[in-house]
């Protein structure tokens, strides 16, 4: 009866819709909140499998391509028929650990970037932009110069502590004022704290030639230092960070709706933020200790993944964990080839790729307060 009355009223005023007209076509959007280019679950799953295949191919290329090129047969014989030759030593102790480090560091930076952007709701969020990498770098330099640490396992704890303290300081400074934290305030606080920590790091290494020699190859971000000893030491910390991040995917989706709504749905926002902070410290701290502060991977890859699969963290995290090492290994291979016989460090290549992307992101995306 109510529907009939509404129809009669619509007819009387001439506002009744034409029910014979076809419904408007649905458009797929790639903006925040949209499903992404791969809108269906099947498309996302198939796309992820394809990305994994590409990642495997790039990993194989990373082992084979460089100043000295190898074949698949030589790589196979380095393990199946080890003789101790120069080829076997290079493949087993240099190329393979370097490739594994690229896979681990890339996945860590990609997932850490997703966590930072999700918790702060800041599209420019990144472990490097929020001071986490700078804090880990300063702590690692202190461990090298003051305590004489040389192996990863001896200064990775310092890197964790430095990353955690830097994150706490940036969030505290960015939350000052009556309005609390905002994307702009956090970004500015992160830039200021990173500059301060970077200055302290430079002051330390300039006073110690030995520390400078150790630090100058590491600070630009490089996979060269990864070897068959340091990579296994980093695995437990990175796995712990990745597992914790995967456990937070559903709460992160709720927190993305806003703190008030998340609390009304029974989500402990502070616990989600604390867990995310621990995961970011584990991931970014270990990645920085292993390969140095590599920038732009954590901010660029989550946006690429978001375009493909949308903002759902259940898909965003695994896609970022695959796309980030893919980008990092490609950048490392490019760095080996463009200035042969020398090498361009991977941190420089990612900066050359990421800086234009970051500028485009700032110009095109409407960020609150910018």
Chain CA centroid to CA 108, Å: 6
pLDDT of residue 3: 44
Please say if the pLDDT value at position 189 is more than 80: yes
DSSP-derived secondary structure letter, 258: -
pLDDT per residue as tens digits for the range 228-241: 888 888 899 899 99
Q: How many residues are given for the chain?
A: 370
Look-up of token digits 């790639």: 30
Please say if the pLDDT value at position 171 is more than 90: no
DSSP-derived secondary structure letter, 91: I
Instruction: Please indicate, yes or no, whether the overall pTM of this predicted structure exceeds 0.85.
Output: no
Measure the CA–CA gap between 124 and 113, rounded to whole angstroms.
9
pLDDT of residue 115: 92
- Around Cβ 161, how many Cβ atoms within 10 Å? 17
294 near 224, Cβ under 8 Å?
Answer: no
- Token pair belonging to 214: 């150790």
Task: Tell me the percentage of the chain whose pLDDT exceeds 70.
Answer: 84
Over its C-alpha atoms, the chain yields an Rg (Å, rounded) of 24
Chain CA centroid to CA 162, Å: 18
Cis peptide before 341 (omega within 30 of 0): yes
345 near 222, Cβ under 8 Å?
Answer: yes
Please say if the pLDDT value at position 93 is more than 70: yes
Helices (H), 92-227: 96-120, 132-146, 152-174, 183-207, 209-216
Please say if the pLDDT value at position 133 is more than 70: yes
Residues 63-67 have a mean pLDDT of 90
pLDDT per residue as tens digits for the range 14-50: 444 444 444 444 434 444 446 778 878 999 999 999 9
94 near 67, Cβ under 8 Å?
Answer: no
113 near 302, Cβ under 8 Å?
Answer: yes
345 near 220, Cβ under 8 Å?
Answer: yes
- Token pair belonging to 137: 């770098």
State whether the Cα torsion 343-348-350-355 is positive or negative: negative
Measure the CA–CA gap between 158 and 354, rounded to whole angstroms.
28
Residues 54-76 have a mean pLDDT of 93
Closest CA to 164 of 300, 288, 290: 288
Which of 34-48, 160-174, 198-212, 353-367 has the lowest average pLDDT? 353-367
User: Helix and strand tally (H, E) in the chain?
Assistant: 16, 0
In the chain the domains, ranked by start, together with CATH numbers, are 83-364 (1.10.3470.10)
pLDDT of residue 1: 43
Please say if the pLDDT value at position 190 is more than 70: yes
pLDDT of residue 27: 39
DSSP-derived secondary structure letter, 218: T
pLDDT of residue 153: 64
Please say if the pLDDT value at position 208 is more than 80: no
Measure the CA–CA gap between 367 and 266, rounded to whole angstroms.
28
């Amino acid at each position: 009866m109510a529907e009939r009355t509404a129809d009669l009223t619509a007819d009387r005023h001439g506002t009744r819709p034409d029910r014979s007209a076809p419904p408007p076509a649905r458009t797929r959007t790639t903006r925040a909140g949209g499903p992404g280019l791969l809108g269906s679950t099947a498309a996302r799953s198939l796309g992820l499998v394809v990305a994994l295949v590409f990642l495997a191919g790039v990993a194989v290329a990373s082992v084979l391509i460089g100043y000295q090129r190898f074949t698949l047969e030589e790589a196979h014989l380095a393990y199946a028929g080890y003789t101790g030759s120069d080829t076997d030593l290079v493949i087993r102790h240099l190329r393979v650990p370097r490739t594994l480090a690229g896979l681990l560091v890339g996945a860590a930076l990609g997932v850490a970037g997703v966590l930072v952007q999700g918790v702060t709701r800041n599209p420019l969020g990144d472990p490097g932009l929020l001071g986490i990498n700078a804090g880990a770098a300063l702590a690692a330099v202190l461990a090298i110069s003051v305590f004489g640490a040389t192996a990863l396992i001896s200064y990775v704890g310092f890197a964790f502590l430095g990353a955690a303290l830097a994150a706490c300081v940036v969030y505290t400074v960015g939350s000052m004022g009556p309005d609390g934290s905002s994307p702009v305030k956090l970004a500015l606080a992160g830039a200021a704290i990173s500059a301060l920590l970077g200055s302290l790091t430079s002051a330390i290494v300039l006073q110690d030639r030995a520390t400078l020699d150790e630090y100058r190859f590491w600070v630009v971000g490089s996979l060269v230092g990864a070897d068959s000893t340091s990579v296994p030491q980093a695995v437990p910390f990175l796995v712990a960070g990745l597992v914790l991040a995967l456990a937070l995917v559903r709460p992160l989706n709720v927190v993305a709706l806003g703190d008030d709504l998340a609390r009304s749905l029974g989500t402990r926002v502070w616990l989600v933020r604390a867990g995310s902070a621990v995961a970011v410290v584990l991931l970014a701290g270990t990645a920085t200790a292993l390969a140095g502060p590599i920038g732009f991977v954590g901010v660029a890859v989550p946006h690429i993944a978001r375009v493909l699969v949308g903002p759902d963290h259940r898909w965003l995290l695994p896609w970022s964990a695959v796309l980030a090492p893919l980008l990092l290994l490609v950048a490392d291979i490019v760095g080996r080839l463009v200035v042969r016989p020398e090498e361009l460090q991977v941190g420089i290549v990612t900066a050359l790729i990421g800086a234009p992307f970051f500028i485009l992101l700032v110009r095109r995306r409407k960020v609150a307060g910018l």
